[in-house]
Chains A and B, each alone.
Chain A
């Protein structure tokens, strides 16, 4: 059973790591979490990124954050990937499976998953 005492132990373990996380520009994964995003299934997508970043040990290099409605509700759930010095990539109609693939191929592998981008969606 989890206890608050266990949290204190996690704090001690994390203290050293936190120092490493400060400074330097991070890659940002931004998930749309307004009414439209939530209704379209953004919550599991956000969770997939949060869990994936932890699992792949990307803490400190990648930050997952939430934003409101960007006016493209028909394409929700929308995820934007902002890497320092690179153009923003917008992924649309995201799912947990797509999130896993973006994490693996784009975030870790550096290769944009073209088929999920808004550019591809608008061509189709």
Chain B
């Protein structure tokens, strides 16, 4: 992947597939590190499935047998001296608290650190593809704090206007862009 924001998109898509109704994307930066946390309340994975997920030739798909999302994330993190941790609770064992959390730590000063890239596009792409899911996006450091909670937007828009209306998607992109700009001056 050319940008870490593409990994974020790819991993969050797993949460969509797991049937999550809430997906949290949190990016926390220090001078040294970028920590990416993606948490969902989807169906979760059993210990056995979770063991296999790190393996590039593991996938839940029935038609093809290769899943590359987590291995690509792991590679991007480990090549900077960072790591990926996944914890998951499967709905069969945790009917009320199921879900998955993926935490990836990257060392920003390492030469093999992939830049974050266009994270705004990742957020709008996720909302465009799954307007019914609640996304909580937060990007923080000592210098800035950018946030978007789709539940807030939905409260204003009501039932009749879906979040993936092109006008709303454009508005969300601009809303995030302006938050970043406020802190870059």
Contact = CB atoms under 8 A, between A and B. Distances in A.
Contact of A43 (B125, B158, B168, B170): B125
Contacts of B124: 47, 50
Contacts of B167: 10, 14, 54, 59
B171 A47 contact: no
Contacts of B156: 4, 7-8, 11
Contacts of A113: none
Chief secondary structure at chain B's binding surface: helix
A18 B160 contact: yes
Q: For A38, A47, A64, which residue has the most chain B Cβ atoms within 10 angstroms?
A: A38
Interface residues of A, number: 32
Contact of A33 (B129, B158, B165, B166): B129
A2 B161 contact: no
B102 interface: no
B6 A39 contact: yes
A69 interface: yes
Closest 8 CB pairs of A and B: A54-B166, A66-B129, A2-B175, A35-B68, A35-B69, A7-B156, A38-B10, A35-B10
Interface of A: 1-2, 4, 6-8, 10-11, 14-15, 18, 33-36, 38-39, 43-44, 46-47, 50-51, 53-54, 59, 64-66, 68-69, 71
28 contacts: A4-B153, A4-B156, A6-B171, A7-B156, A7-B157, A10-B167, A14-B161, A14-B167, A18-B160, A33-B125, A35-B10, A35-B68, A38-B1, A38-B9, A38-B13, A39-B1, A39-B72, A43-B9, A43-B122, A44-B121, A51-B166, A51-B170, A53-B166, A54-B166, A54-B170, A59-B167, A66-B125, A71-B63
